[in-house]
Structure 1
């Protein structure tokens, strides 16, 4: 009975974790501003309960009693996750986990106010405390190993900073060279006009449905920083609108639907178990990025989207589907990671990866972070950061203590490149469906080959099983070079 008892206990813990996630969603979308301090106490209390459950001695007893050989592949995978998570929870002090939950809940609001005021100094003391606690957490989890690797394990199990550094080092030279060649070329015109917010949100719902989002198990709301939250039967997304830029809303929506579709597509029998959610943030990001870029920014799909956007908003300032495709994919200088084109996006991520590794190792102090960011940005992109909201304050992640999260964005792009190659090989007629606004052949293939399996396999193995080959940066580089050389006649 140990396995049955273990599963009952784990399902209750996972249900509480979903409640905690819902509190985070509410804080980003609907919570009144004055509730921040109370919400911090609520989150901290729930974090303490979850930590106690995740370190409960009964877990250790059950795990010791169960014979793995008596279980099927699903049961063995559940035990693999639980043994790993239990060992990590045992190394994470309860007081530290509670302090981090309380601090990061408050830090989120402090960051938002500092960002609005373009004042890094107003956030720096809070961030310094977050970094101090994350260093402490990393050291506790590492047990003598690399603290950054220990933090990375929360987001991409099995990955190391050194391995990612080598992969990213292979990406950078070709991305920089392609970027430089493109920026010497004339840039295509973008869309123009004023785009009604209500119309944008209506179209966002339609696009979400095109990409398979199930509104009976989800909803769309607005947030400053779009995100997806939840799993199983309650998976919510947010988006944002800009009256001068309909792409901000549309592609934020497609991106978050990629995350949400992964969660909605997981085998429902895995619900409220360690297998019932995405296996890693890198694999998760592979879904959002392939939905947004390889599918959503393809020539076939943008041809359909052009007609939809014209129908919804009237004249949008571009004449035909080819000009629209160029506008969707144009490469432009910009400060904001979430608004970057798919070519330059990874350069934004690599900057953050290097800086956060230095923060955790102690090679960089928070007091020097803004200057380090600005210097690195100008070196990589060739122009200066002029305000903190364009630079070091633009992302919420560090205020939430999410050190180790940023590199999974580029790893997800690498995974997406591999998946796109396999998808195109499997469905050579995909463009004919996309040209009609039908993404279902692609989303069905992804659901069947990757999404439904949830956490059944380790991250790298998940990609290998779906693609038939081990992950490599080469398919992403080949895709980007082929696409943008054609677009810019290089």
Structure 2
């Protein structure tokens, strides 16, 4: 056994334990009885303590020192890059802090959920302040004198910075705001209305999951408050949610999460339980969920097929034809919830959170000021006031579990998806004819071969550049949105 072999054997066990910890989180969101929350917090803290100890085990450092990267192939060098990055980062975080954070964020999730249900920011504010305090402490340890927020971003999108994103988002915001204003002045499609059986929604949503290539022998679809994807390799699970008044919430949440899950399922099996066996970054991950949901799932061709499936599932639901249905699916309307936002306005929600969380981490914004800051920014960007906290600052789970630096990857994923869609359309000139039959295989196979199979082999930007033939830029996304919504709203 060489030092590399020893390191990889140790790493596989750590990866396996990480999957077990992830399953605890999945269970907490789907099936765990509410009364089990205090014990689950202890269980997750114990798992985090074990994982942290393995990630900073002195033997990892010794193995890394003993390995000559020049003796390794491309895969070995990529594994080494990920392990070294993780080891260096984790070694900077005191074990006691990691355990405190795991315990606090597990408990915090339940406190947030209850505060959200009660629309009571004050019930969550002290816990959020404690989470921010510990995350700032963690960020300072990771940054080692550098920018704390950049250190947090590196967990989700290695190679990017707050300044990079500020420039990109700064270019996007005025274009999106101008297009949004023009759409709001135009006459567009009416919102769907009716009572859509939730059982029928779940039946159709599982059909859609399979249509987009989700392998149900290695996954399952459950319901949760906040849709998510969990796991990798041979066990990748997704959740969705239903609303009898809004079937699109369920259907498109599912397609979105299938994009995440398909990425994990389609990574080369050679990388199972290694650092390459996961999506390379949250931005690249989000590019898959968004291109599945929007450029494919909300396309004129695919919605034509989906219209027929909706009629089969719900009968006459008040939409006359495929053209009207395409407009309804892509309707731009007022709303507060990011996960329910239309394609045009979605990024404005993310940009709001990006600016606020940077201010929270820098200390320029205090938790006591957060609700007012949120409401003021929302009204400035969307033109109407937040009506209650569950539609505002309490709507997302992310901050309660310490995911600072995560939100901007949602918009970065949209940017990546714009680049990929442009390249995919050039490579697949007959794609619309296939999508019109409900056949997504050409698109999902193209993404599988050009993005998903690589897992963590390449750095995030390199994955997008290789697949799309260009450096990531917001231009393809903005061009796509202008063309699409100008057509729907006759601008």
TM bin (shorter chain):
over 0.9
In the alignment, the residues of structure 2 paired with residue 295 and residue 386 of structure 1 have an alpha-carbon distance, to the nearest angstrom, of 33
1:436-451 correspondence to structure 2 within 5 Å: 436-451=437-452
- Give the match for residue 352 of structure 2: 351
Whole-angstrom distance in 2 between the partners of 1:59 and 1:314? 60
1:335 aligns with 2:298: no
What's the secondary structure of 2:439's corresponding residue? coil
The answer to whether residue 474 in structure 2 is matched with residue 473 in structure 1 is: yes
Distance (whole Å) between structure 2 residues aligned to residue 480 and residue 433 of structure 1: 22
- Structure 1 residue aligned with 2:137: 136
SS in 1 for 2:325: helix
What does residue range 196-345 of structure 1 map to in structure 2 within 5 Å?
A: 196-345=197-346
Query: SS of the residue aligned with 1:230?
Result: strand
Which whole-Å CA distance do the structure 2 matches of 1:191 and 1:140 have between them? Answer: 50
Runs of 5+ in structure 1 lacking a partner? none
SS in 2 for 1:229: strand
Question: Tell me, what secondary structure is at the counterpart of 2:360?
Answer: helix
Residue number in structure 2 paired with 1:66: 67
Deviations 1:80-116, CA, capped at 9 Å, x for gaps: 1111110001101111100000000000000000000
The 2-side partners of 1:187 and 1:377 are apart by 23
Distance apart, 1:200 and its partner CA: 0.5
Considering only aligned residues, what root-mean-square deviation do their CA atoms show, in Å? 0.5
Q: Distance in 2 between matches of 1:74 and 1:432?
A: 38
Structure 2 length as normaliser, TM-score? Answer: 0.99
Tell me the residue number matched to 2:7. 6
CA distance in 2, matches of 1:246, 1:90: 46
Please tell me whether residue 412 in structure 1 is matched to residue 413 in structure 2: yes
TM-score (norm 1): 1.00
- Deviation of 1:315 after TM superposition, in Å, equals 1.1
> 1:193-213: per-residue Cα shift (whole Å, max 9, x none)?
211111100001100000000
1: CA distance, partners of 2:138 / 2:163: 20
User: In 1, Cα distance between the equivalents of 2:393 and 2:337?
Assistant: 10
Q: Return 5+ residue gaps in structure 2 as ranges.
A: none
CA distance in 2, matches of 1:87, 1:453: 24
Consecutive aligned runs of 4 or more in structure 1 exceeding 4 Å deviation: none
| Whole-angstrom distance in 1 between the partners of 2:224 and 2:43 | 21
Query: In structure 1, what is the equivalent of residue 100 of structure 2?
Result: 99
Give the Cα separation in 2 of the matches to 1:93 and 1:162. 28
- Contact 1:190-1:317 within 8 A present in 2 as well: no
Partners in 2 of 1:20 and 1:465 — Cα distance? 33
Output the CA distance in 1 between the equivalents of 2:190 and 2:150: 43
In 2, the alpha carbon distance for the partners of 1:397 and 1:267 equals 29
SS at match of 2:230: strand
- Conserved in 2, the CA contact under 8 Å of 1:358 and 1:364? yes
Q: 1:193·1:315 contact (CA, 8 Å) conserved in 2?
A: no
User: How many pairs were matched up?
Assistant: 490
SS of residue matched to 1:237: strand
- Quote how far apart the aligned CAs of 1:192 are: 2.1
Q: What CA distance in whole angstroms lies between the structure 2 residues aligned with 1:430 and 1:388?
A: 43
Give, in angstroms, the shift of residue 283 of structure 1: 0.2
Shift of 1:316: 1.2
8 Å contact from structure 2 (residues 15, 274) kept in 1: yes
Task: Tell me, in whole angstroms, the C-alpha distance in 2 between the residues paired with 1:231 and 1:186.
Answer: 44
Is 2:127 the partner of 1:126?
yes
Confirm or deny: 8 A CA contact 2:188 2:488 kept in the other structure: no
User: Deviation digits for residues 358-411 of structure 1, max 9, x if unmatched?
Assistant: 000000000110000001100111100010000000000000000000000000
1:75 matched residue in structure 2 = 76
Distance in 1, Cα, partners of 2:310 & 2:5: 52
Q: What is the CA distance between 1:191 and its match in structure 2? A: 2.1
Distance 1:5 1:390 in 2: 50
- Partner Cα separation in structure 2 for residue 229 and residue 159 of structure 1: 24
Match of 1:369 in 2: 370
Tell me if 1:180 matches 2:181.
yes
Query: 2:38 & 2:194 partners in 1: Cα distance?
Result: 41
Residues 110 and 123 in structure 1, CA contact (< 8 A), matched pair in contact too: yes
Give deviations 1:328-384, integer Å, cap 9, x for gaps: 001111111001001000000000000000000000000110000001100111100
Structure 2: distance between partners of 1:440 and 1:190 = 30
- Map 1:24-103 onto structure 2 (within 5 A): 24-103=25-104
Deviations 1:65-87 (A, max 9, x none): 10111111000000011111100
* 1:379-390 alignment runs, 5 A limit: 379-390=380-391
